[in-house]
């Protein structure tokens, strides 16, 4: 049974990924930072598919926490075969109002966390001469968003990280890809008003926002079903960004 670690998997896109991988026979590690109860609920849904599902707490922006998480997985289950760097944060602020703390936290979670987890996953993948990493960016990492400069910059960094690491790891049989979603119906967008959501739907050629499950399908495709694909950015955004 192959192992998949999904960061930030106690809700939203991460939880949808955990259930999809479990449905397809993977042992699932559900990373969370605070809400163990929610992570355990996701694990229970995963176990209904007849696979192992383990919740594992760690702040992915802290090196010691990341190393401890990977050590636990490797010591008990043999290492991470597929890594989904899903955990992330967002914030809407005028550029003039972004503090240094806001900027640092945005990059710590969205970029540093991706770096730390990817680096920790590599020894096992390199030893096996195979592996798959999928990073989560955003369509705003492709085109930028007003009042989200630090978020857009961090998500753009994830795209550059993906392309460079893919080239470096390809000779070792390890693929690295990226999903850059448009607006998704998750808690991250819960702050948006009904009017904001309606405007997004009107601006999107497909006329709606995505479900978490639709983004999970894109992630699963890159992680599992695209053996000759690496260094690519897939942006399921309903046609809003082309």
List the CATH number of the domain containing 113: 3.40.50.720
pLDDT of residue 236: 98
Element (H, E) at 131: strand 131-136
Q: Is 151 a catalytic residue?
A: yes
Catalytic residue of the set 32, 115, 151, 220: 151
Element (H, E) at 40: helix 36-47
Q: Considering only CA atoms, which of 29, 28, 26, 33 is closest in space to residue 8?
A: 33
Say how many C-beta atoms besides its own lie within 10 A of residue 45's C-beta: 16
User: Is 198 within the bounds of a domain?
Assistant: no
User: Is 240 within the bounds of a domain?
Assistant: no
User: Is 16 within the bounds of a domain?
Assistant: yes
pLDDT of residue 166: 98
User: Is 200 within the bounds of a domain?
Assistant: no
Number of structural domains the chain divides into: 1
pLDDT of residue 49: 98
User: Is 146 within the bounds of a domain?
Assistant: yes
Cα–Cα distance measured from residue 41 to residue 104, given in angstroms and rounded to the nearest whole number: 31
20-76 residue pLDDT tens? 999 999 999 999 999 999 999 999 999 999 999 999 999 999 999 999 999 999 999
pTM of this structure: 0.97
Q: Encode the chain (242 residues) as per-residue pLDDT tens digits.
A: 899 999 999 999 999 999 999 999 999 999 999 999 999 999 999 999 999 999 999 999 999 999 999 999 999 999 999 999 999 999 999 999 999 999 999 999 999 999 999 999 999 999 999 999 999 999 999 999 999 999 999 999 999 999 999 999 999 999 999 999 999 988 777 667 788 888 889 999 999 999 999 999 999 999 999 999 999 999 999 999 98
User: Is 201 within the bounds of a domain?
Assistant: no
Q: CA 205 → CA 80, 140, 199, distances in Å?
A: 38, 17, 12
pLDDT of residue 188: 72
Q: Considering only CA atoms, which of 139, 138, 135 is closest in space to residue 119?
A: 135
User: Is 241 within the bounds of a domain?
Assistant: no
User: Is 38 within the bounds of a domain?
Assistant: yes
Range of the domain at 102: 3-182+216-234
């Amino acid at each position: 049974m192959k192992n998949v670690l999904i960061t930030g998997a106690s809700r939203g896109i991460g939880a949808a990924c955990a259930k999809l991988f479990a449905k397809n026979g993977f042992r699932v590690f559900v990373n969370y930072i605070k809400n163990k109860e929610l992570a355990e609920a996701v694990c229970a849904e995963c176990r209904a598919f007849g696979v192992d599902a383990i919740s594992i707490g760690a702040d992915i922006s802290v090196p010691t926490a990341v190393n401890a998480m990977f050590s636990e997985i490797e010591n008990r289950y043999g290492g991470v075969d597929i890594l989904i760097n899903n955990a992330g944060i967002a914030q809407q602020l005028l550029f003039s109002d972004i503090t240094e703390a806001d900027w640092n936290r945005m990059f710590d979670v969205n970029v540093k966390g991706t770096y730390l987890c990817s680096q920790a996953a590599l020894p096992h993948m390199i030893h096996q001469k195979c592996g798959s990493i999928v990073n989560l960016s955003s369509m705003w990492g492709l085109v930028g968003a007003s009042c989200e400069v630090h978020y857009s910059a961090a998500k753009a960094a994830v795209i550059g990280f993906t392309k460079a690491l893919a080239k470096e790891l390809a000779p070792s049989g390890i693929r690295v890809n990226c999903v850059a979603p448009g607006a998704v119906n998750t808690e991250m967008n819960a702050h948006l008003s009904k009017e904001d959501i309606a405007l997004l739907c009107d601006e999107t050629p497909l006329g709606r926002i995505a479900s978490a499950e639709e983004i999970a399908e894109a992630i699963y495709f890159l992680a599992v079903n695209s053996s000759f694909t690496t260094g690519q950015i897939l942006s399921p955004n309903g046609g809003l960004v082309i």
